[in-house]
Copies of this chain bind each other. A is one copy, B any other.
Amino acid sequence: MEKLCVHTMTTKPWSLDDCARHYPAAGVEGITVWRQYLEGRDPLSAGAMLRDAGLDIVALCRGGFFPAKNATGLQAAIDDNLRAIEMAEALGAPQIVLVCGAVPGQPLEESRRQITEGIAAILPVARQANIRLAIEPLHPMYADDRSAINTMAQAHAICDALGSPAHLGIAVDVYHVWWDETLEAQIKLAGERNRLFAFHVCDWKTPTTDLLNDRGLMGEGCIPIRKIKSWVNAAGFNGFNEVEIFSNKYWSMDQNEYLQRITSAYQQHVL
């Protein structure tokens, strides 16, 4: 069960307290906290509660969504990301996952420019707080409204454009990038440039019946998870393997039973 981290969104029906109680009991060692789980709570005490439960806080999820149609929207996005940095610092999360954003109909190159500028604007604050920012390339099927950054190459381009700052890197989620023939090379490059910050696992089911919430448990689909993990490890990554599954099907079942399936799938198809 080594290095197993679960995203709170994976067990969506559970509260943060439920996660703190059930994750360690199942052998889960790490947790990535989605921001909505901290609504109405003090992040400082939430962080202490998770650590007291024996969990490593791997990341806060998610910042980003930089693109907007006007200056007000762009500034609002930056302000929101600055709040996320504050929240991560209080929680004790060492990094924030960035889902970069997109505005339907706005040229992708314009969104990419806004994303680069947005990251540039928050980077000094992140550095000061010692919070790392991990750009997560999203599958091209989310290019319309979730992220204009759809490949590792594009994530690298932003890191390069900003001068390869130490606090900026990439989160590799197998669901988003498994199809890319350049993936191995891009992961290797991320290792060389010290920007391989996170590794997320789940699986791609055939058929996939929903663009958002029909991800599979590891082993249920076609993604060569172990092969990609070997590339990530060869590139020097030795952090947590984060299980991030959005699934109407799994959210509707008993979450303790589901967590058992997760740990079992983790042992069979990730380790």
Chain A residues engaging chain B, CB cutoff 8 angstroms = 104-105, 107-109, 112, 139-141, 143-145, 150-151, 153-154, 178-181, 204, 206-209, 211, 221-222, 224
- Which single member of B104, B151, B206 contacts A206 (CB below 8 Å)? B104
* Residue from B112, B179, B222 within 8 A of A140 (CB atoms): B179
13 more A-B residue pairs beyond the given contacts A112-B181, A139-B140, A143-B179, with a C-beta to C-beta distance below 8 A: A105-B221, A107-B224, A109-B181, A139-B141, A141-B141, A141-B211, A143-B178, A144-B204, A144-B206, A144-B222, A154-B181, A208-B211, A211-B211
Main secondary structure of the interface of A (DSSP, over half): loop
Looking at the assembled complex, report how far the CB atom of A152 sits from the nearest CB atom of chain B, in whole angstroms: 12
Show 28 residue pairs from A and B whose CB-CB distance is below 8 angstroms, ordered by the A residue.
Answer: A104-B206, A104-B221, A105-B222, A107-B224, A108-B179, A109-B181, A112-B181, A140-B141, A140-B179, A140-B180, A141-B141, A141-B208, A143-B178, A143-B179, A144-B204, A144-B206, A144-B208, A144-B221, A145-B206, A145-B207, A150-B179, A151-B181, A153-B181, A154-B181, A207-B211, A208-B211, A209-B211, A211-B211
